[in-house]
Amino acid sequence: MKITCPNASCGQHLSGPRALMGSRYACPACEHSFIWTDCFHAGDAFVIYDLETTGLYPDHDEFIQIAAVRLRAGCICPEESFFSFARPRQRISSFITSYTGISNDDVRDAPRPEEVLCGFARWVGDATLIAHNGLRFDSKFLAATHRPLTAGR
């Protein structure tokens, strides 16, 4: 498999086995470290995020924490991260505290989920969102937070 080093100032042509896909690699010419892939998205960014919630049901539970990191040109950018607690309308149960490690004290002075979501959206910009179990879980909580509040929330 042949690729070009994603470091724009290098452009070295590299070749290696397909088995390298997904592994960290350093270009021998410029020592730029990246994840070996057959597709680089120059200029594009990805945001990997995860939520913690008060329960499993976005219709009446809320997210209580969001954490994210930006990925550019196959490299994680730890200096470009987002983290916030969110203060739900209902108390966090002892089960959720034992499961997530997040207590009512942690979220006492945090902004509401809607405010956190606005800040997160500004931070994300036009990056593509990636989440573990995002389609079935996390994205449903983001969508529910974006909707006008229902009587039960």
> What's residue 89's pLDDT?
94
State the pTM of this model. 0.68
94 vs 105: CA distance, rounded Å: 12
pLDDT, tens only, 36-79: 876 655 556 789 999 999 999 898 999 999 999 998 877 788 88
Residues 6+ apart with CB under 8 A from 147: none
Nearest partner of 57 among 145, 151, 143, 137, judged by Cα: 137
Detail the DSSP E strand segments found in 16-151.
24-26, 33-35, 45-53, 63-72, 75-85, 128-131
pLDDT score of 150 more than 50: no
Nearest partner of 64 among 53, 55, 75, judged by Cα: 53
> What's residue 131's pLDDT?
87
pLDDT, tens only, 11-34: 889 988 878 877 888 899 999 888
pLDDT, tens only, 85-119: 999 999 999 999 999 999 999 999 999 999 999 99
Q: Where do the domains of the chain lie, and which CATH numbers do they carry?
A: 2-35 (no CATH), 45-146 (3.30.420.10)
